[in-house]
Amino acid sequence: MNKEKNFSKWYSDILEKAEIIDLRYGVKGFIVIRPWGAMILENMYQLYEKALQKKNHKSCFFPVVIPEKNFKKESSHIKGFTPEVFWLQKVQGEDKLALRPTSETAFYQMYSLWIRSWRDLPLKLYQRANVFRYETKATRPLIRSREFYWIETHDVFATREEAEKQVQEDIETTEEIMHEKFGIPFLPMKRPSWDKFAGSVYTIGSDVLMPDSKLIQQPSTHLLGQNFSKAFNIKFKDEKGKEEYVWQTCYGPAPSRILASVISTHGDDKGLVIPFCIAPIQIIIIPIFNTKNKKNVLDESKKIKRELENLGLRVEIDDSEKRPGEKYFEWELKGVPFRLEIGEKEIKEKKLTLFTRDTEKKETLNMRDLPKIKKFGDEFDSRLKKKADDFMKDKIVNCKTKQDLKKAMENKKIARVNFCSIEKEGEKCAEHVEKEIHAEIRGTLANKREHPKGGKCIICNKKAKEVVYIGKSY
């Protein structure tokens, strides 16, 4: 498998050989996630949900079906999502139902019943859910599917100021989990007005660079303003008894899609490299034995396993009859961060052989130093993050002319350019970028205001109001 020369084939091979997914379900855009992939996803979910709960979100579960009448309440929302909706065959005497493509219209009919007073605010709920979208383009496992696994938060506030603070908190949550934990750097992009979430005031999308230099949108957060509260009649009485419409936000990290970035960013030609914090098995113990010493070696392996588990680590012993080399290959392919090799010699010397997946280095570890592996795990994740950050930094270039921009796209870079506007007046220039440069205006940085400093738009040559990022995407 050669990641650099043929990323597309490498990615497909990894998913299959490392037993992340199986494509043979027989329905376009729907995949089976196998146990190894499911265990990684579960660990990702737990880290994300823990972070949300610390920030006062509470979990809930909503039905997978949404009545058609709900979609119709917010006109731009139904216009934006209708082409992607899976409609269920109508049951006689009942409303037409859709499989949820997203859940604003499910949550908000209930919010109109639950919210009455300023005392009910803020309301911050989330759910773990599958969503379904009738994707008509070519599908790609985990990257572009018709079903994906995500988390969605739906938050309600008394004022716009509180809602905008929530948008920034959502960006911080993406930083805290996707970047700091999973090691995936991103650009938080305020999307152009023509590319915002249907029904929102504005959208922030987290752009992640893949090894083929295409951008993939990861968690997005949306200021919904009062668009849905007016459509669903979600009101509250303030402390003076005056009735007001609430302000809303929503946020959607999709662990299944983020997993595509984890696999692609950290993996190498030998297979997966899974961050220590989400690896299903953090340490695999390989006992090396023969018929005579098998019991002794396995007993010692079990003692080591118990000691590591008492430290809160996820550990397994591969006591199969495969040759050691076969075991090494399998667990390197699956991306297990650390391998401990133990045989009769190691038992006598009270020293183990420690193999580290990302550096591919072997070293000797005294048995009394086993607790150090926890620290090694933190260092493992820090190395993955730094390597990914360095890759991202190297890909952003400043462009002043159309020629510079074309060259940047040819060289598989992200271009930072002066641009007239990400509001309606800039749409024609964006169309030019799409048709002539075969790239997209991704937006402006949402967490850092970048000023054009008197420059002109790279396309129309009018005074630039924004600094935008341009790239190719999935």
The identity of residue 169, as a single letter, is E
Nearest to 145 by CA among 4, 259, 14: 259
DSSP 8-state code for residue 177: I
pLDDT score recorded for residue 420: 96
d(CA 240, CA 343): 76
The identity of residue 452, as a single letter, is P
SS3 240: coil
Tokens in use for 10?
């490498």
SS3 375: helix
pLDDT tens readout for residues 374-400: 999 999 999 999 999 999 988 999 999
Number of H helices, E strands in the chain: 14, 23
Greatest alpha-carbon pair distance for the chain in Å reads 83
Tokens in use for 306?
């118990």
Residue 78: which pLDDT band, with cuts at 50, 70 and 90?
A: low
CB atoms < 10 A from the CB of 92, how many? 4
User: What CATH number should be reported for the domain whose range is 7-266?
Assistant: 3.30.930.10
pLDDT tens readout for residues 118-136: 999 999 999 999 999 988 7
Reply yes or no on whether the pLDDT at 68 is more than 90.
Answer: no
**Measuring CA to CA, how many Å separate 413 from each of 6, 184, 212, 436?**
18, 17, 10, 17
Under 8 Å between Cβ of 444 and 468: yes
d(CA 292, CA 300): 15
Domain(s) of CATH 3.30.110.30: residues in the chain: 396-471
Under 8 Å between Cβ of 358 and 380: yes
What's the number of CA atoms in the CB half-sphere (13 Å) around residue 240? 2
* Ranges 40-54, 126-140, 325-339: which has the least confidence: 126-140
List, in sequence order, the alpha helices (H) in 142-266: 160-174, 227-232, 255-266
Residue 70: which pLDDT band, with cuts at 50, 70 and 90?
A: confident
Under 8 Å between Cβ of 258 and 185: no
Domain(s) of CATH 3.40.50.800: residues in the chain: 283-376
The reply to whether omega before 122 is within 30° of 0 (cis) is: yes
* Phi-psi sector, 270: left (phi>0), alpha (psi -120 to 50), beta: alpha
pLDDT score recorded for residue 71: 78
What's the number of CA atoms in the CB half-sphere (13 Å) around residue 226? 12
Reply yes or no on whether the pLDDT at 291 is more than 90.
Answer: no
d(CA 342, CA 334): 20
If you search the block for the tokens 């159309």, which residue do you land on? 402
pLDDT score recorded for residue 401: 94
Domain 283-376 classified CATH 3.40.50.800? yes
Q: Residues 6 or more apart from 219 whose CB is under 8 A from it? A: 170, 173, 174, 178, 206, 251, 252, 253, 254, 258
Residue 92: which pLDDT band, with cuts at 50, 70 and 90?
A: low
d(CA 344, CA 350): 10
Question: Averaged over 239-254, what is the pLDDT?
Answer: 97
The identity of residue 140, as a single letter, is R
Under 8 Å between Cβ of 315 and 328: no
pLDDT score recorded for residue 93: 67
pLDDT score recorded for residue 80: 67
The identity of residue 293, as a single letter, is N
List, in sequence order, the alpha helices (H) in 324-456: 324-333, 344-349, 372-393, 402-410, 427-432
Reply yes or no on whether the pLDDT at 74 is more than 90.
Answer: no
d(CA 252, CA 155): 12
Question: Averaged over 398-426, what is the pLDDT?
Answer: 96
Residue 45: which pLDDT band, with cuts at 50, 70 and 90?
A: very high
Please, what is the average pLDDT of the chain?
94
pLDDT score recorded for residue 136: 76
What is the full DSSP assignment across 68-115?
HHHHHTSHHHHHHHGGG-EEPPPPTTS--EEE-SSSHHHHHHHHHHH-
Domain(s) of CATH 3.30.930.10: residues in the chain: 7-266
128-163: string of b/e by CB count within 10 Å (b at 16+)? ebebbbebeeeebbbbbbbbbbbbbbbbbbbeeebb
Question: Averaged over 286-296, what is the pLDDT?
Answer: 91
Range 396-471: architecture per CATH? 2-Layer Sandwich (3.30)
Question: Averaged over 204-210, what is the pLDDT?
Answer: 97
pLDDT tens readout for residues 141-173: 999 999 999 999 999 999 999 999 999 999 999
What is the distance in angstroms between the CA of the first residue and the CA of the last residue of the chain? 22
pLDDT score recorded for residue 433: 97
Reply yes or no on whether the pLDDT at 91 is more than 80.
Answer: no
pTM to 2 decimals? 0.94
Question: Averaged over 204-217, what is the pLDDT?
Answer: 96
